[in-house]
Each structure stands twice: as structure tokens, then as C-alpha cells.
Amino acid sequence: MTYDGNQDNNENVVDNLNSNNVAIQEIIEKAVLDPEFKKNLIENPDEVLANYDISEIGKIMIKSLSEEDFDKLTPENIEEYFAADSAIYTPDFDEDIPVEYSDENDI
């Protein structure tokens, strides 16, 4: 059961998510296929991503990918990366990176 107007709102949310996912896929595919674009994306992510209509979460996800992460992707396996039934990809954690821990008292 939906309230009046909620169905339209839900359809808008789904449409926005779909267009966001398409844009993210286009960016990552371009980085896999175009070494110069990949270099620019890694070195100047905010500047490159400003040209795309994606969510802040999408930008954070793309900016979290390292050059090695992009190098693991190929035209042959890129579809698997975006398959709906594939596991969520997370880059390997670098144990040399210091991690700061906080709790609710730090807020």
C-alpha cells in the first residue's frame, strides 16, 4: 500500500539510483580503457568527477579506488564487477595506513 504521491517519489528515487549507477559504470569503464583518463581520475578526482552527475556516495566510492584497483579491472571482467548478483567489491585494506578509532564521546 502506498500513500498518494509516494509511488511517484519512489519511482524518482529508483530512476536517480539507476542513472547514478550508469554514470559510475561509465566512469570506471573509461578509466579501465583510457590510461590518460585513469591518471587524471586518480590524480584529480574532484575535477574529473565534477563533470558527472553522480551522488556524493558514488564519488567517495570512485575516489576510494587506487590505481591497483583499476588495474585489476579489464574489459573482460568489467561486466562482472557491475553484475547485480556479484559480491560487493572492496579494495584490499593496506595495513600500513594508520587507522584512527573513535567512539560516541568524540562526536
Every domain of the chain and the residues it spans: 6-106
- Alpha-carbon distance of 55 to 74, in angstroms, equals 25
* Residue 98 pLDDT: 77
How many helices and strands, by DSSP H and E, does the chain display? 6, 0
* Residue 50 pLDDT: 94
What are the backbone angles phi and psi of residue 103, rounded to the nearest 5°?
Answer: -130, -175
* Residue 80 pLDDT: 77
* Residue 24 pLDDT: 87
Burial of 64 (0-12, 13-18, 19+ CB in 10 A): exposed
pLDDT tens series, the chain, 107 aa = 444 555 454 444 444 445 677 888 889 999 999 999 999 999 999 999 999 988 898 899 899 989 998 888 887 887 777 665 445 555 566 677 777 777 788 77
